Amino acid sequence: MPQTTPTPASSALEADLRAGTGLLSDPEATTVERLMQAAAHAFADKGFHATTTRDIASGAGLSPAGVYVHFGSKEELLFNLSRTGHESALRQLRAAIAASPAPPGQLASLMARFSEWHVEQYQVARVVQYEHHHLTPEHHAEVLALRKEMDALVRDVLERGVASGEFAIDDVGDTALALLSIVVDVARWYSPTIKRTPAQIGATNAALALRLVGAAEPRRTARLATDTAAPPPDA
Amino acid sequence: MPQTTPTPASSALEADLRAGTGLLSDPEATTVERLMQAAAHAFADKGFHATTTRDIASGAGLSPAGVYVHFGSKEELLFNLSRTGHESALRQLRAAIAASPAPPGQLASLMARFSEWHVEQYQVARVVQYEHHHLTPEHHAEVLALRKEMDALVRDVLERGVASGEFAIDDVGDTALALLSIVVDVARWYSPTIKRTPAQIGATNAALALRLVGAAEPRRTARLATDTAAPPPDA
DNA sequence: CGTAAGACTAAGCAAGCGCTTAGTCACTGT
DNA sequence: ACAGTGACTAAGCGCTTGCTTAGTCTTACG
Using the structure, give the distance in angstroms from the CA atom of A15 to the C1' atom of D6, rounded to a whole number: 59
Between A18-32, A105-119, A198-212, the lowest mean confidence (pLDDT) is in: A18-32
Q: How confident is the model at residue B2 (pLDDT cuts 50, 70, 90)?
A: very low
* B172/A233 touch (CB, cutoff 8 Å), yes or no: no
pLDDT at position B218 is 54
Using the structure, give the distance in angstroms from the CA atom of A76 to the C1' atom of C14, rounded to a whole number: 22
Q: For chain A, say whether B196 makes contact (Cβ under 8 Å).
A: no
List CB contacts of A225: < 8 A, sequence separation 6 or more: B155, B158, B159, B162, B171, B172, B173
**pLDDT of B135 strictly over 50:** yes
CB-hemisphere CA count at 13 Å for B23? 2
Q: What is the CATH number of domain A75-212?
A: 1.10.357.10
Q: Which CATH superfamily is domain A12-73 in?
A: Homeodomain-like (1.10.10.60)
Please give the Cα distance from A107 to A101 (Å, whole number).
Answer: 10
**pLDDT of B8 strictly over 50:** no
Question: Strand C positions with any atom < 7 Å from protein CB?
Answer: 7-12, 16-22
pLDDT at position B27 is 64
pLDDT at position A20 is 37
**Mean pLDDT comparison of A12-21, A54-63, B219-228, highest-scoring range:** A54-63
Listed in order, the ranges of chain B carrying CATH 1.10.10.60 are 12-73
CB-hemisphere CA count at 13 Å for B191? 9
Say if residues B173 and A226 touch (Cβ distance below 8 Å).
no
pLDDT at position A11 is 47
pLDDT at position B234 is 72
Amino acid (one-letter) located at A29: A
Amino acid (one-letter) located at A88: S
Q: What is the mean pLDDT of residues B24-43?
A: 87
Q: How confident is the model at residue A16 (pLDDT cuts 50, 70, 90)?
A: very low
Between A1-10, A30-39, A117-126, the lowest mean confidence (pLDDT) is in: A1-10
Amino acid (one-letter) located at B176: A
What per-residue string of b and e applies to B135-154 under the rule 16 or more CB within 10 Å gives b?
Answer: beeebbebbbebbeebbebb
* A177/B224 touch (CB, cutoff 8 Å), yes or no: no
**pLDDT of B136 strictly over 60:** yes
For CA atoms B137, B142, B145, B149, the dihedral sign is negative
* A230/B176 touch (CB, cutoff 8 Å), yes or no: yes
Please give the Cα distance from A130 to A140 (Å, whole number).
Answer: 12
Q: For chain B, say whether A222 makes contact (Cβ under 8 Å).
A: yes
Nearest protein residue to nucleotide C11, judged by CA and C1' positions: A65
* pLDDT (tens digit per residue) in A110-165: 999 999 999 999 999 999 999 999 999 999 999 999 999 999 999 999 999 999 99
* pLDDT (tens digit per residue) in B184-225: 999 999 999 999 999 999 999 999 999 999 997 654 444 444
**To the nearest whole number, what is the mean pLDDT of chain B?**
87
Total residues belonging to chain B: 235
Please give the Cα distance from A87 to A188 (Å, whole number).
Answer: 20
Say if residues B207 and A178 touch (Cβ distance below 8 Å).
no
For CA atoms B113, B116, B118, B121, the dihedral sign is negative
* A171/B147 touch (CB, cutoff 8 Å), yes or no: no
pLDDT at position A29 is 85
Listed in order, the ranges of chain B carrying CATH 1.10.357.10 are 75-212
